[in-house]
Chains A and B, each alone.
Chain A
């Protein structure tokens, strides 16, 4: 079974731009969660989508948004990029909502200049 895939793997953007990251979960998984990982703040939960609806949300500004499609694929969007948004963005999928056992993708490394 194919694992979680994330595209693109690397991205360089300029302050003020917006960016969209994509995540394809493991086949059959209906939940997709997004995380931000930085050296300063560590690993932080962004949000979780299940059945195309955002079910849980971490403490991030509204510039961070996401959506999930009927095939469970998910996208995350960050608008008006700031230097502090430079991070590794990890996507994880699981069979159920709010599951501790999640399967992570390799991440998208976003650099904002």
Chain B
């Protein structure tokens, strides 16, 4: 069984500063993917970034980067230069890379960006 843990229910950051949202995972699958979604107050989930378990380099998408530490089973999301529009819930999730795809989501972290 897969498990995602997000230990920070809420985070605050000043505009233009960087912030790290923590995510740890547990799985017995030899191959898997980790990804992050953002959910603004409007409710729609927005895909941010993906990291495969065999990827050698950390994934980067614009201001988002995924700090993947396989030995520590962590996949933290780093948002650089925070903007007011980054205020939202952030979900870490994982799924196997092949076979039956049943994604598992964490409970989420609420990020508030202060001006």
Contacts and interface: CB of A to CB of B under 8 A. Distances in A.
B105 A103 contact: no
B14 to A, nearest CB: 28
CB-CB nearest 9 A-B residue pairs = A98-B101, A104-B45, A43-B105, A100-B35, A100-B50, A101-B47, A42-B107, A107-B43, A56-B101
A45 B13 CA distance: 31
A31 to B, nearest CB: 10
Looking at chain A's contact residues, the main secondary structure is strand
A44 to B, nearest CB: 7
A75 interface: no
Interface of B: 33, 35, 37, 42-47, 50, 91, 93, 95, 98, 100-108
Contacts, number: 50
Interface residues of A, number: 22
A55 B98 CA distance: 12
A76 B23 CA distance: 31
A101 to B, nearest CB: 5
Interface of A: 42-45, 48, 55-58, 88, 90, 92, 97-98, 100-107
B66 to A, nearest CB: 12
Given A45-B102, A56-B101, A101-B50, A92 B45 contact: yes
A107 B44 contact: yes
Contacts of B105: 42-45
A68 to B, nearest CB: 16
Contacts of B47: 100-103
Contacts of B104: 45
Given A44-B105, A45-B103, A98-B95, A106 B46 contact: no
Nearest to B103: A45
A105 B102 contact: no
